[in-house]
Amino acid sequence: MTSNYQMNSDASKQSVASLYREQGFLFPVDVLSEAEAKELLDDLEAAEQELAGDEEKLSILKAYPDRVLPSFDKLTRNPIILDHVTRILGPDLMVWSASIFDKSARSEKIVSWHQDLTYWGLDTDDEVTVWVALSPVTQASGCMYFVPGSHKEKAVPHKDTFAENNLLSRGQEITVDVAEGEGIPVELRPGQASFHHGHLFHSSGPNHTDKRRTAPAIRFIKASVKQAGGEKPLVSHVHGTDEFGHYDIADTPHGRLLQSDFERCKKDAEVRRKILYAGAEKPSGTRY
């Protein structure tokens, strides 16, 4: 089984979808130039400077970069990304979230082995994550590891650890052992993306480098996917039509770091906490 998407870069429509179906992932896919990736990182870092001291807004920025920064909304509509995702999920697409996974220089933060869909309350697995490297992503800087074909196991049990150094909401991890070497490293240069299935086993290690490792993880779903419990999270409609009305649809941000957008995200975060922490032993607090 190949793990290198570039070997298949002349892949036909069919083979993008079939490679993804077989492996549960694709990478590396060139979606931005290095200069464009730097512009996005610069915009994010400028926003962090502007919001310095306001912990709540900084948390919202990390959880909803596409709702408060026009540059990140534009990234979720990138034609190369959408071309690939439509091959996998078809034409009618929502972005369910686009939160930033961030490891500062010399950070001990990790992500345990998990499957994404466990706590999202979606009624099908018609979801694809597009993870876009904005900085160099290597084994030393804490890249992800994917277990080829593991998405075929469908949903496996997880346990919550709430470990301090875990970037996941509940520090959740699968109760299945993953042997050393089973996961392949997903190394990317700035501007490259990986695509992965919501049932794929994946994890990531600490950042041993002097550079920040930062990426938005854009979660695409089919417009037909329903949220359990009838909740209507805030999503953006980025391709095709919406004949279902399952979600609260956000506009493209009309400006940068607008108060009205922060307020809308804050309201949505209450809806999402209900979804993500359903059945958890610990309260969700104010985590975004």
Does position 101 interact with ligand AKG (CB under 6 A)? The reply is: yes
Of 5 and 101, nearer to ligand AKG (C-beta) is 101
Element (H, E) at 256: none
- Per-residue binding string, ligand AKG, 116-155, x by CB under 6 A, is x------------x-x------------x-----------
Binding-site size, ligand AKG (CB under 6 A): 10
Of 126 and 242, nearer to ligand AKG (C-beta) is 126
**Binding residue for ligand AKG (CB under 6 A) from 150, 204, 207, 236?**
204
What's the min distance (Å) between Cβ of 194 and ligand AKG?
A: 9
Dihedral sign computed on CA atoms, order 95, 129, 265, 276: positive
Cβ neighbours for 12, distance < 8 A, ≥ 6 positions apart: none
What's the min distance (Å) between Cβ of 139 and ligand AKG?
A: 12
Instruction: State the Cα–Cα distance between residues 61 and 71, nearest whole angstrom.
Output: 13
Instruction: State the Cα–Cα distance between residues 232 and 221, nearest whole angstrom.
Output: 14
Tokens standing for 112? Answer: 């345990």
- Per-residue binding string, ligand AKG, 205-234, x by CB under 6 A, is ----------x-x-----------------
8 A C-beta contact, residue 55 and residue 227: no
Instruction: State the Cα–Cα distance between residues 10 and 32, nearest whole angstrom.
Output: 18
What's the min distance (Å) between Cβ of 103 and ligand AKG?
A: 7
Nearest CA among 69, 66, 62, 43 for reference residue 109: 62
Q: For binding to ligand AKG (CB under 6 A), which residues are involved? A: 101, 111, 116, 129, 131, 144, 202, 204, 215, 217
